[in-house]
Chains A and B, each alone.
Chain A
C-alpha cells in the first residue's frame, strides 16, 4: 500500500499546478464548512443559551390551553395548588431535571406617579428563579443581585421601561393589576434593579416576588401560571421532555383529560425557526463541499488518466495487476482529499483560534455586545474529513476503473 501511495504522490507532484489548484479547492471547501459550523454553532449556542438561561428555561409546564392564550396572560388558566404540587413531585423524581422555578405571570399598569404604562410581570421565588435562569442576575444593568435577586416589596423592571419613564434604582412605583374577579388592586414597589433586554418571549418582562404577585392579584391559593424547568443537559431535551410528559400524564382534569402541557424552548421561541434555518444552511454547505470535492477530484483524475494512457499501457503490459492500477489511481484521489482535508482543518483551527483571540462582537435583536466564541468539535472534524475522503475516492473510482480496464495494446498505440 505504501509503495502505491508513494508512486501516487509522485504522480500528483508531476502535475504540480493542477494538484495545487484541486487541493486549494478542497481546502477552501473544508475551511468554509468548518468555519461555518464553528461560527453558526457558536451563534446558535449563544442565542439559545441567552433565551433558555435567562427567560424561558429548557422546558415549561402549563395548564392545558395556557400557551395558546399566553399573550393575554390568562389568570383563569393558572395551575391550581394541587396540580402544582403534583408537578413538583413528578419533577423531583426525574433525574434529567436540575431545577425548576414556578411563576405567576400577569399584566399590570405601571405608574411612576406622573406617567403610566403597561408591563408584563413574573411573580417568582427569587432563589429558584436565579437557579433555573442562571443568566438572569447578569442581566442587571442597574442594581445588584449581591443580596439576593429580589426582595419582598421590590421590583425588577426592563431597561426600556426604565429609560422611557426615567426611573432608576430606589425609585418607588405603583403596580395596578386586575384580578380574576375583575376587581383592581394596587401596590407600591421599590425598584431593585433594571434588567437588560433579551431577544425572545419574556425578554422585556419585569419581576416581583411570587408572594407580592399573589397579594396584588388577591389569590387565595398558591396558584402558578407556569413552571420553568432547567435540565442538567440541554442536549437531552427530547428524552427529558418525554420523561416529564410521561410523569405528568397522570395529572388529569375533571373530564379525565390530561390537564397539563409540556413545551420545550424550541416550541416557545421563534428563534427555533432561525436555528432550524441555520441547520438547513449547514446541510446545504456540506452538500456544496461534496460537490466541490466530487467535481474537482473527478476532473483532475479523468485528465490524469487521459494524459497517461501510454503509461497505463506500459505498466499493464509489464504485468501490473489491474487491481493495482485501480489502487494507484484511487490513491491519487485519496491523497488529494487527504492533503486538502489536513491543510483545511489546520487552517480552520487557526482561524477559529484567531476568532477567539480577537473576538467578534455583534448584536442580535435587542441584545448588544454579544461575543462569538467559535469552536470546532472533534466529531465535526472527523465527519468532514471522512466525507471528503469518501467523496475523493468515489470521484476517482470511475477514472481508476477505466485505467484498470484499459486494453494494453490500444493504450500503447495511443498518441
Chain B
C-alpha cells in the first residue's frame, strides 16, 4: 500500500484570464520509508507537486491520496491538522523561528500543534537533537548557528512529532557542497532510524544521485522515474 498515491494529478493556476498549467496529469506512488527525489529545472512543477502532497495546495483535478486520506477534500483547518499530525517540512531557507532557541524550535510542533505533556516533550526533543547531532547547540538562537546547523534543527523539527512523511523543498540549495551532502546523509540516517519517508525536490544532479527513487519532471509532466522503492 503506497504512502502517497497520485492519479492523473493536474494543477492549473489562473493568472488573470490565462490558465497556467503547473502539473499536467501526473501518476506516481511513493512507498513507506522510501527516499524520494523530484528533480527537474525551475518551473517544472516540483514545488507544486510537493505543495499538493503536503496539503498546502489542492489539485485542480485527479486523485491524491496521502496516508489513506484523499487530501483534495480537506478544508483549510483539516489540512492544517493533517499536516500537524502526519507531515514534516524542511525548507530551503531553514525557516526557523528567530526568537526561539534550537531546542525550542524543535519543540514547537509538540507544544503549539500537538500539545504534548512537558516531560514527554522534553525527552523527545532531547532524543531528536541528539539524533541530528546538534545537542550541544540546543540553547543557541538561529542567528548563532551555521547554515548546516540550522538545517539539522529543521530536520529535527520535521521529525519530532513522529511524522510519517517529511517533505523538503530544495533542502540543500542554500548550503555548500559538503554540508549539502551531510544533510542528505542525515536525512537518510533518520529514514533508517525512524522509518520516515523523505521526499525532496532538487535540481542539483550530485544530490539527485543520493535518492533511491527519482521522479524527473519537465513542464509539469513526469518524464522519467528510476530506482526501486525502499521497502
Contact = CB atoms under 8 A, between A and B. Distances in A.
Residue of A11, A313, A408 with most chain B CB atoms under a 10 A cut-off: A408
B56 A320 contact: no
A7 B82 CA distance: 23
Given A319-B109, A320-B113, A321-B77, 13 more contacts: A13-B99, A311-B97, A314-B91, A314-B97, A315-B112, A317-B54, A317-B83, A318-B109, A319-B87, A321-B113, A322-B80, A409-B51, A412-B95
Interface in A371-415: 408-409, 412
B112 A320 contact: yes
B133 interface: no
B100 A10 contact: yes
The 3 closest A-B pairs by CB, nearest first: A319-B84, A10-B99, A314-B95
B157 interface: yes
A319 B99 contact: no
B81 interface: yes
Contacts of B93: 310
A77 B22 CA distance: 98
A318 B99 contact: no
Interface string A313-346: 1111111111010000000000000000000000
Interface of A: 3-4, 7, 10-11, 13-14, 310-311, 313-322, 324, 408-409, 412
Given A3-B112, A321-B113, A322-B77, A315 B97 contact: yes
A11 B97 CA distance: 10
A14 B157 contact: no
15 contacts: A4-B112, A311-B98, A314-B95, A315-B97, A315-B108, A315-B112, A317-B56, A317-B83, A319-B81, A319-B82, A319-B85, A321-B77, A321-B80, A321-B81, A412-B95
A377 B108 CA distance: 43
Contact of B108 (A13, A14, A316, A318): A318
B66 to A, nearest CB: 14
A322 B109 CA distance: 14
A102 B89 CA distance: 88
Residue of A4, A314, A319, A409 with most chain B CB atoms under a 10 A cut-off: A319
Interface of B: 51, 54, 56-57, 76-77, 80-85, 87-89, 91, 93, 95, 97-100, 108-109, 111-113, 157-158
A314 B81 CA distance: 14
Nearest to A327: B112
Contacts of B108: 315, 318
Nearest to B98: A14
Nearest to A9: B99
B77 A317 contact: no
A15 to B, nearest CB: 10
Nearest to B96: A314
A317 B87 CA distance: 9
A10 B89 CA distance: 24
A412 B84 contact: no
B85 A412 contact: no
A322 to B, nearest CB: 6
Contacts of A7: 99-100, 112
Contacts of B51: 409
A310 B84 contact: no
Nearest to A10: B99
Contact of A318 (B57, B77, B100, B157): B157
A111 to B, nearest CB: 86
Nearest to A13: B99
Contacts of A311: 95, 97-98
A319 B91 contact: no
A412 B47 CA distance: 12
B164 to A, nearest CB: 13
B84 A321 contact: yes
A175 B77 CA distance: 92
A409 B56 contact: yes
Residue of A311, A317, A321 with most chain B CB atoms under a 10 A cut-off: A317
B97 A409 contact: no
Contacts of A317: 54, 56, 83, 89
B155 to A, nearest CB: 13
Contacts of A310: 93, 95
A314 B91 CA distance: 9
Contacts of A409: 51, 56-57
B56 A408 contact: yes
B97 A316 contact: no
B45 to A, nearest CB: 14
A31 B218 CA distance: 65
A13 B141 CA distance: 14
B56 A318 contact: no
Given A10-B99, A318-B84, A412 B91 contact: yes
Contacts of A321: 77, 80-81, 84, 113
